[in-house]
Amino acid sequence: MMETIAFALFAFVTLASAAGVVLLKDPWHSALMLGVALISVAIHYVMLAAEFVAMMQVLVYVGGVLILVTFAVMLTQREQDEDLHATDTSSDEVMGP
């Protein structure tokens, strides 16, 4: 009975975080939800007594692919405040005193 409850709980976590990957607008939060989904899949492998596959899931996907996605998001994402400040100061210079 406890195994069924644990499976249902982690199945819900996997589906909810996978939906969060697709539906969230912020790429940083989508990457975090991807990490939750991948770790939850690894937990499913542990529940199936496939510990080696679970460890490879964590090492390759969470440790490799997710870190790569995180660096890509950090390197390509702009600061919103700097963009707004740059447009505000340029409009003041055009308008004059």
Mean pLDDT in the chain?
86
Residue 48, token pair as written in the block: 């199936």
In this prediction, residue 77 has a pLDDT band, given cuts at 50, 70 and 90, of confident
User: Looking at residues 71-83, what average pLDDT do you find?
Assistant: 77
pLDDT for 9-49, tens place per residue?
999 999 999 999 999 999 889 999 999 999 999 999 999 99
Domains and CATH numbers, the chain: 2-95 (1.20.120.1200)
| Whole-Å CA distances, 71 to 62, 76, 80, 81 | 13, 9, 18, 21
Let me know: does 62 contact 42? Beta carbons within 8 Å. Answer: yes
Place of tokens 């210079």: 93
Residue 66, token pair as written in the block: 């997710």
pLDDT over 90 (residue 50): yes
In this prediction, residue 89 has a pLDDT band, given cuts at 50, 70 and 90, of low
Cα separation of the two ends of the chain: 75
Residue 78 is predicted with a pLDDT of: 74
Rounded to an integer, what distance in angstroms lies between the CA atom of residue 54 and that of residue 91?
55
pTM metric for this prediction? 0.74
